[in-house]
Amino acid sequence: DHKMTPRPIRQLDEGAINRIAAGEVVERPASAVKELVENALDAGASRIAVEIAEGGRALIRVTDDGHGIAAADLPLALSRHATSKLDGDDLLAIHSFGFRGEALPSLAAVGRLKITSRAAGSPEAAQIRAVAGRVEEVRPAALTRGTVVELRDLFFATPARLKFLKTERAETMAVTDTIRRLAMAAPEVAFTLSDGDRVLFRADPHGDPLDRLALVIGRDFRADALPLDAERDGFRLGGHAALPTYSRGNAAHQYLFVNGRPVRDRMLQGALRAGYADVLAGGRHPVAALFLRCDVRLVDVNVHPAKTEVRFREAGVVRGLIVSALRHALAQGGHRSARVVSG
């Protein structure tokens, strides 16, 4: 019986490994956009322009004015587990968005990728291309500064994933949401997102983070926003939470950041809900942007390749901090709105 005969164990080749990893890192165009914009932010960019076509499936182009990549390093940027952001010793001390060295090789494995870059201080630019995992030679290119990453035909090399993409409209909305969250995380950086001639999002550099929040959430958010500032056992909570009257029918305007990184975390979402439990009717969702800061050793961001989940060493402390800070702010805000109404 052939089932009883063990088949030889073979090492997967790099192409197969990258396609498998890509399944986790790049779920849809928005995840590719997230990885590329995070790379631009890690490179110290002050302006980031994102262009998409067909919801990002046909084209994603991210242009930044960051420190660039040295020509000699371009092949490394496309090879797996190669990163300039971690020395390998301390997985707990992570200060950048990236650290796994997986995004670019994953994108190179599942689409047509072209990176043009000019390293700061270098007299010339260089370019590297990869198609479905086949990496070409580095060649000279023209670019005055920074990096342009162009990804075409995402998932053409993995048709199974291509089938799971939603409508162009839904993918465009997911890309826009990703950019908005990152724009909140980096208010000092200018962002544009466009689809052909259509500008989908635009944010000039903002000195006051509340300006950036109001740009994303809505201009009227500013009047209803209660500032948060609380601390407990090494965790510090900042940001703004809206008065209950500003609540929504869905949770779309809930923005959570841990050490500057946009996250989607159940514990944090639950704490946000709990903070409003006494003042919101069922079916209503609070609007808030919570910025949590702590020593990088108190939180693990290396939970999933997409890095949007976190684990806290002391989840109970974090939850307690958020719930009590929200209750306190809402109680204060209640007085404020009561005064406004009566006056």
| Residues engaged in binding ligand ADP (CB under 6 A) | 35, 39-40, 43, 64, 66-69, 77, 83-85, 98-104, 147
Q: Of 31 and 147, which CB lies nearer to ligand ADP in the complex structure?
A: 147
Q: State the Rg of the chain over Cα.
A: 22
Q: How far is the CB of 136 from ligand ADP (least distance, A)?
A: 17
Residue 247's binding partner among ligand ADP, Mg ion, none (Cβ under 5 to 8 angstroms by kind) is none
Question: How many CA atoms are closer than 13 Å to the CA of 16, on its beta-carbon side?
Answer: 4
* Per-residue x/- track, 13-42, Mg ion (CB under 5 A): --------------------------x---
What CA–CA distance (Å, rounded) separates 173 from 161?
19
Question: How many CA atoms are closer than 13 Å to the CA of 257, on its beta-carbon side?
Answer: 26
Q: How many residues bind Mg ion (CB under 5 A)?
A: 3
What CA–CA distance (Å, rounded) separates 223 from 227?
11
Nearest-CB residue for Mg ion: 98
Told to check if 107 binds Mg ion by CB under 5 A, we report: no
Q: How far is the CB of 32 from ligand ADP (least distance, A)?
A: 11
Q: Of 67 and 261, which CB lies nearer to ligand ADP in the complex structure?
A: 67
**Per-residue CA distances from 50 to 25, 28, 146, 183, 251 (Å):** 19, 16, 14, 12, 25
Q: How far is the CB of 210 from ligand ADP (least distance, A)?
A: 28
Q: How far is the CB of 304 from Mg ion (least distance, A)?
A: 14
Residue 29 tokens read as: 């165009």
Q: Which of 314, 229, 304, 231 is nearest to 261 (CA)?
A: 304
DSSP conformational letter for 294:
E
Residue 50's binding partner among ligand ADP, Mg ion, none (Cβ under 5 to 8 angstroms by kind) is none
Residue 66's binding partner among Mg ion, ligand ADP, none (Cβ under 5 to 8 angstroms by kind) is ligand ADP
What CA–CA distance (Å, rounded) separates 135 from 108?
8
Q: How far is the CB of 197 from ligand ADP (least distance, A)?
A: 25
Told to check if 178 binds Mg ion by CB under 5 A, we report: no
Residue 151's binding partner among ligand ADP, Mg ion, none (Cβ under 5 to 8 angstroms by kind) is none
* Three-class secondary structure of residue 192 per DSSP: strand
Q: Of 76 and 173, which CB lies nearer to ligand ADP in the complex structure?
A: 76
Q: How far is the CB of 100 from Mg ion (least distance, A)?
A: 7
Q: How far is the CB of 309 from Mg ion (least distance, A)?
A: 17
Residue 65's binding partner among Mg ion, ligand ADP, none (Cβ under 5 to 8 angstroms by kind) is none
DSSP conformational letter for 269:
H
Which amino acid type is present at position 311? R
Told to check if 98 binds Mg ion by CB under 5 A, we report: yes
DSSP conformational letter for 297:
G
Q: Of 44 and 334, which CB lies nearer to ligand ADP in the complex structure?
A: 44
Residue 83's binding partner among Mg ion, ligand ADP, none (Cβ under 5 to 8 angstroms by kind) is ligand ADP
Are the CB atoms for 38 and 102 separated by under 8 Å?
no
Alpha helix stretches (DSSP H) within 124-254: 159-162, 168-185, 209-217, 221-224
Q: Is 321 exposed, middle or buried (0-12, 13-18, 19+ CB in 10 A)?
A: buried
How long a stretch of residues is the chain? 343
Residue 292's binding partner among ligand ADP, Mg ion, none (Cβ under 5 to 8 angstroms by kind) is none
Told to check if 103 binds Mg ion by CB under 5 A, we report: yes
Q: Which residues bind Mg ion (CB under 5 A)?
A: 39, 98, 103
